[in-house]
């Protein structure tokens, strides 16, 4: 199966050069100039190449969000023009697996991506999440309940995947908006309630005595650890 690289780089010349080399190495490349667009395209990705300086969100903030999302296990190579040791430490602290300073050779980048994939192949559980009868395939972006496929919208899937990746942990509506919809989302907390209601309907979950998606009064929602 082809390996998919998510490339987030706003500088067109760098993006196209990297894309060219990665494609020549046999990878499928999804390239984006914006952090927000890239966030929407995470399902099915195997490795991420992320620029530090992006117009809509700093790469490092995007990376911190990634590490708290359903896609937290994805290996990330950061690109940056900043070479000081301080920045390097900050990037690694935020959860980067490797780091390349501009200007770099695209051939070296392809080699680093290969090395990252080799390292992560051993410890990454390939995109599967299971909670009770619920099963999510993060690579394919599909979900099933009691072995029956669920037909979810993109947002429903992302919300369910996020909660299922952190079972037992309570999230406020605002936290869910930030983590699932993104910090740029304009809309109220009611959006979260609507999506939870829809998801409960998909799971046949009783809203007053929910087995999976529990309302924690005065706080928010959580996925029960042992439904
Ligand atoms: Ca940039």
Q: In this structure, what CATH number is given to the domain that contains residue 210? A: 1.10.10.10
pTM of the model: 0.57
Ligand 1 centroid to residue 222 C-alpha, Å = 36
Q: Kindly state whether residues 114 and 150 are assigned to the same domain.
A: no
Round to whole Å and give the CA distance between 35 and 10.
9
CB-CB contact of 79 with 113 (8 Å): no
Q: Kindly state whether residues 168 and 79 are assigned to the same domain.
A: no
Q: Kindly state whether residues 107 and 159 are assigned to the same domain.
A: no
Ligand 1 centroid to residue 60 C-alpha, Å = 12
pLDDT value for 41: 93
Question: How confident is the model over 26-38, as a mean pLDDT?
Answer: 95
Q: Kindly state whether residues 41 and 113 are assigned to the same domain.
A: yes
More reliable by pLDDT, 70 or 18 = 18
Q: Kindly state whether residues 16 and 106 are assigned to the same domain.
A: yes
Q: Kindly state whether residues 149 and 95 are assigned to the same domain.
A: no
- Give the mean pLDDT of the chain: 87
Question: How confident is the model over 190-206, as a mean pLDDT?
Answer: 93
Q: Kindly state whether residues 26 and 90 are assigned to the same domain.
A: yes
Ligand 1 centroid to residue 15 C-alpha, Å = 9
Question: Which residues, other chains included, contact 92 with Cβ-Cβ below 8 Å and sequence gap of 6+?
Answer: 99
pLDDT tens per residue across span 141-157: 889 998 899 999 989 99
Round to whole Å and give the CA distance between 195 and 178.
15
Question: How confident is the model over 178-207, as a mean pLDDT?
Answer: 88
Domain that holds residue 71: 4-123
Ligand 1 centroid to residue 10 C-alpha, Å = 5
pLDDT tens per residue across span 108-144: 898 899 888 877 664 444 577 888 889 998 877 889 9
Q: Kindly state whether residues 82 and 145 are assigned to the same domain.
A: no
Percent of the chain with pLDDT over 70: 93
Q: Kindly state whether residues 18 and 119 are assigned to the same domain.
A: yes
Q: Kindly state whether residues 37 and 96 are assigned to the same domain.
A: yes
* Per-residue CA distances from 112 to 5, 61, 206 (Å): 12, 22, 48
* CATH number of the domain bearing residue 9: 3.40.50.2300
* Per-residue CA distances from 138 to 2, 42, 157, 164 (Å): 16, 9, 9, 11
pLDDT value for 102: 85
Domain stops at, among 105, 123, 141: 123
pLDDT value for 123: 45
Total number of domains in the chain: 2
Ligand 1 centroid to residue 174 C-alpha, Å = 29
Instruction: Report the residue count for the chain.
Output: 227
Q: Kindly state whether residues 22 and 109 are assigned to the same domain.
A: yes
Domain stops at, among 123, 140, 174: 123
Q: 106, 143, 156: which is closest to 5 by C-alpha? A: 106
pLDDT value for 30: 96
Question: How confident is the model over 165-193, as a mean pLDDT?
Answer: 86
CB-CB contact of 177 with 189 (8 Å): yes
Ligand 1 centroid to residue 102 C-alpha, Å = 10
Ligand 1 centroid to residue 111 C-alpha, Å = 21
Q: Kindly state whether residues 27 and 74 are assigned to the same domain.
A: yes
Domain stops at, among 97, 123, 149: 123
Token pair for residue 189? Answer: 């907390």
CB-CB contact of 52 with 72 (8 Å): no
């Amino acid at each position: 199966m082809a390996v998919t690289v998510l490339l987030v780089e706003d500088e067109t010349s760098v993006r196209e050069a990297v894309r060219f080399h990665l494609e020549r190495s046999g990878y499928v490349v999804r390239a984006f100039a914006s952090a927000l667009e890239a966030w929407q395209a995470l399902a099915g990705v195997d490795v991420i190449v992320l620029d530090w300086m992006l117009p809509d969100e700093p790469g490092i903030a995007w990376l911190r969000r990634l590490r708290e999302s359903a896609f937290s296990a994805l290996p990330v190579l950061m690109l940056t023009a900043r070479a000081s040791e301080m920045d390097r430490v900050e990037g690694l602290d935020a959860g980067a697996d490797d780091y390349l300073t501009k200007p770099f050779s695209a051939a070296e980048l392809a080699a680093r991506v290969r090395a990252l994939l080799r390292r992560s192949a051993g410890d990454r559980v390939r995109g599967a999440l299971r909670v009770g009868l619920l099963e999510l395939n993060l690579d394919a972006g599909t979900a099933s309940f009691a072995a029956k496929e669920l037909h979810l919208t993109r947002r429903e899937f992302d919300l369910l995947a996020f909660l299922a990746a952190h079972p037992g942990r309570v999230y406020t509506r605002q936290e869910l908006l930030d983590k699932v919809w993104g910090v740029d989302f304009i809309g109220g907390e009611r959006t979260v309630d609507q999506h939870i209601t829809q998801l409960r309907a998909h799971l046949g979950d009783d809203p007053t005595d929910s087995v999976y998606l529990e309302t924690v009064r005065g706080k928010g929602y959580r996925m029960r650890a042992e439904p």
